[in-house]
Structure 1
Amino acid sequence: MNLKTLLLASGAALAAASGAHAADAIVAAEPEPLEYVRICDAYGAGYFYIPGTETCLKIGGEVRSEGEWHDAYNPNGKVGTLWHTRAELSIDTARDTEYGALKTNTVLRWDWNDGNDTKTKLLFANISLGGFTVGKLDSQFLLYQGYAGDVINDDVIYDGPYELNQLTYKYDPGNGFTAMISLEDSNSASDQSSYGGAWKTSKGDHYAPDVVAGLAYKSGIWGINVVGGYDSIVEEGAIKARVDVDFGTFSVYAIGGWNTDGDKLNKYAGSNLDESSCPPGRGDLCGWGDWAAWGGVAVPFNDKLKWNLQVAYTDSKIFAATTNLKFNPVKDLLVEPEVSYTNWDSVNQDQWAGILRFQRSF
């Protein structure tokens, strides 16, 4: 074999080997593009986009454990110590539409009270769009005006009902002025116990809703808010007016309430006493009577410590005072000792009570 023949044979062998390897080669597939979680800052801190959608989601909640001594709400209530632990989960969604933000709010709560079985509760569940809100919330008689002082026992003197179904419209042009009207469920289970057992009326065949309306204005350091509620079963109601002033180094507020019939209890001027201390219908004895008043002061000493005081009094001669310290040793952790005193002059009884709360929010 001459040199030319040898070179041709070697070239053919190499070409054949290369073709075999090319046929057997493994080509890696292109990786699928990853969709990372995107922050959604249009609706406040904590929201992120649900992957593959334009809906923003926020998950939060709290874990709380507290000891309670005596009962500030009732002179005939429990005496001793109650240890209470709670877990709460909140889920909020929001998405932009041609009518504004479409939002939902859901809050689930689990309570364990002194060795009793854990109780699960759908605290809130509602939908809002274009100023309208429908679903379960606290009454706008409380929510629109704001709860009383920044204390745990802020409603020893009853200031409105919680947890009911409603259809609410709020007008907010963005200039400090707002207006609200709400149709509220008169058959809610929470309503039937919202007077502490002191008010009983059959609701099985009642279909008319209760009505709440309010006006508010806020400018600079001060704000004023007026809200009224009409109980369609009792056919009476109540009005509350509130003034807030924030001086920076401290803030104060005052609330005055008027009952349309001081001899009766109604949904918006009720009582937190049980029936053993409050005979049915005796609004003059254990409810507001004709009127009620609340006032308080809050002093933030620094970003970790704040002092609060609230006092309240009624035409029926019920006096309640509560003070606490809110201590945040680290962000999102609260330690809150509180002391309350209540005097029911009409039954010549009084009560001291205390709470020590530990709470982690997220």
Structure 2
Amino acid sequence: MKTSRKTVPLGRLSCVLILFSSATAAADMRLYTASQPHMGTEFTLRTYAPEKEGKAVARAFKKAFARVETLNQICSDYLPESEINQFAKAPVGERIALSADLFNILRQAEGIAADSEGAFDITAGPFVRLWRLSKKNRRLPTEAQIIAARSRSGFHLLSLDPLDRTATKLSEGMLFDLGGIAKGVAADEALGILKESGFPRALVAASGDIVVGDPPPGKPNWTVQIEAVAGINEHLPPIFIHLNKAAVSTSGDTRQYVEIDGNRYSHIVSTHTGLGISEGIAASVIAPSAMLSDAYATTVALLGEKEGLQFIENKREIECRIVALRNGQEVAITSHGFSQFQEEERQEKSALTSP
């Protein structure tokens, strides 16, 4: 017997990943879904619940979206009054008390930066701002501009003290970019609220980040299609993966890119070159949380095909699929454990296919 589906029309889902699950479940279960714009993208919430719980689901959705917006107010480098931007304006050498949310994100980012030898770096705000200007003007930054940005970046210029939850800037002109981790954190938090509200059979999608809880009724998992990326893996067959209490994120030279002087550059900026990455790479990472999958997908894209794969192979409970261009040919490689999540064929598309 099929479930019914109730949609709260708050916008269209815009995901790098396309979602699937079974349309068959217990007769009294219903699929609820709602979308809202946050963090520059569309956040979509989906959960299965008895029809009589409709009002409770609506309250849970409202609470989850509010939590996402709270994190946006903390993490956005586009909002002048965000907490991260206020910290960037703080005097050098002054210990600044941070919210638990921001401090925890910075600590997590610091660990990933150390683990990736600086490839993942949320202190790279000067590079990001410089690259945004370059994209706008369609002109590469000068060597002098890149050197200046490098002098104001790096975790060695940021001191975090967990005893009193303070952070200290050690250089003038520091800027921060949490774009490679904030959406993942927000997706995790939204899913946590749905679970706490009594709706564990839930999914949260935020552009290229998807995190799922318990599977749909009568099914062992959620099934997700990794969408082809224009110019990179559009000619490869579709890939379906199954997830249960896990997350997947895709990052790389995808929809956000610019062509300058005949070369294609991503929105993801390398601190080594000061430019957007241009290798033609798309990395999909599976992890226990969206925070990790988001940050690791960005890290793999920055490290490149060989180093990125090696980076993931050294991690427990983390798998990846990398699609890269070699001499104009699309090549897909995966970590050793990726196949356990992969489905070779998909016979049935369900009611959860995104538009």
State the TM-score, normalized to the length of structure 1. 0.27
State the TM-score, normalized to the length of structure 2. 0.27
Q: Higher strand proportion, which one?
A: 1
Q: Higher helix proportion, which one?
A: 2
Asked which structure has the greater RCO (Cα within 8 Å, sep 6+), the reply is 2
